[in-house]
Amino acid sequence: MTVTRFSSFQATGRHTVAGVWLEDYLNGNRRLWVMDETMEASLSAGMVAGSSLFDAGPFHPGSGS
């Protein structure tokens, strides 16, 4: 998990398959597909949150923090 990093994100909507789209405020608003059940259930478009994410390639699972 050495590629886990913390950042501030804004939720931009739901992904068509599963999870949510987040824009990474600390990385040039990079758009990330995040697979995290808690985020999917609780974040609405426009909400801002801080979290650690693990880069798993095409998507980012939440790290539980």
Question: What is the pTM (predicted TM-score) of this model?
Answer: 0.82
Residue 33 within a domain:
yes
Residue 65 within a domain:
no
Do the Cβ atoms of 58 and 31 come closer than 8 Å? no
Residue 30 within a domain:
yes
Q: Which residues contact 26 (CB under 8 A, 6 or more apart)?
A: 7, 8
Percentage of the chain with pLDDT > 70? 91
Residue 64 within a domain:
no
**C-alpha to C-alpha distance for 30 and 22, rounded to whole angstroms:** 8
Domain of residue 43: give its range.
4-52
Residue 61 within a domain:
no
pLDDT digits (tens, 9 = 90+) for 29-49: 899 999 988 888 888 999 998
Q: How confident is the model at residue 64 (pLDDT cuts 50, 70, 90)?
A: low
Residue 62 within a domain:
no
Sign of CA dihedral 33, 11, 50, 7: positive
For the chain, the residue count is: 65
Domain count, the chain: 1
Does 53 have pLDDT greater than 90?
no
Residue 59 within a domain:
no
pLDDT of residue 2: 58
Residue 60 within a domain:
no
Does 65 have pLDDT greater than 70?
no
